[in-house]
């Protein structure tokens, strides 16, 4: 099967997320890949063991600077607010100067939900729903823990 570039990069982000599944405590296992304007993979990341450092943070740290014009592929909506305080992933992505976010799935957690709206409001192009089904399968258990609140 021929994959579009978007699908190829999202598939990579999903693989990164899947590799951390069950290792991220009460946080979701997220994968993130940052791709340059010319299509080069600049960096990638996944939620760390224990879940306290998010995929986008890891990828941005690995990038080592700003990424103007880059596209970010992420398996779950970047957080709008951090439960532990600190800078949200949405804000970090805005600060990095990325141009476009391709996200597989909206977050149902109150701290996550609204991240995409924040990014959009900052002028970043946001697309949601690429490989939504694959992502949904990864986050069913996480979403179930929210529903019990
Ligand atoms: Zn985050």
Q: What is the mean pLDDT of residues 50-73?
A: 94
CA 2 to ligand 1 center in whole angstroms: 31
What are the extents of the domains in the chain? 5-147
pLDDT digits (tens, 9 = 90+) for 82-108: 877 889 999 999 999 999 999 999 999
Coil, helix or strand at residue 72 = strand
Distance from C-alpha of 103 to C-alpha of 78, rounded to nearest angstrom: 8
Domain 5-147 has CATH 2.40.50.220: no
CA 138 to ligand 1 center in whole angstroms: 16
Q: What is the mean pLDDT of residues 78-82?
A: 92
Catalytic member of 56, 57, 77, 81? 56
The pLDDT of residue 129: 97
Tokens of 7: 């699908």
Q: Above 80 in pLDDT, residue 149?
A: no
44 carries an active-site annotation: no
């Amino acid at each position: 099967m021929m994959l579009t570039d978007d699908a190829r990069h999202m598939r990579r982000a999903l693989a990164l997320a899947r590799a951390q599944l069950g290792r991220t405590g009460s946080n979701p296992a997220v994968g993130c890949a940052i791709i340059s304007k010319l299509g080069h993979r600049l960096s990638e990341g996944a939620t760390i063991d224990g879940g306290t450092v998010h995929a986008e943070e890891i990828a941005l740290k690995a990038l080592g600077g700003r990424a103007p014009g880059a596209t970010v592929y992420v398996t779950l909506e970047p957080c709008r607010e951090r439960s532990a305080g600190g800078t949200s992933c949405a804000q970090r992505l805005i600060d990095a100067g990325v141009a476009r976010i391709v996200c597989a799935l909206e977050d149902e957690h109150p701290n996550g939900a609204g991240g995409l709206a924040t990014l959009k409001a900052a002028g970043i192009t946001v697309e949601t729903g690429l490989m939504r089904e694959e992502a949904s399968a990864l986050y069913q258990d996480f979403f179930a823990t929210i529903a019990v609140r």
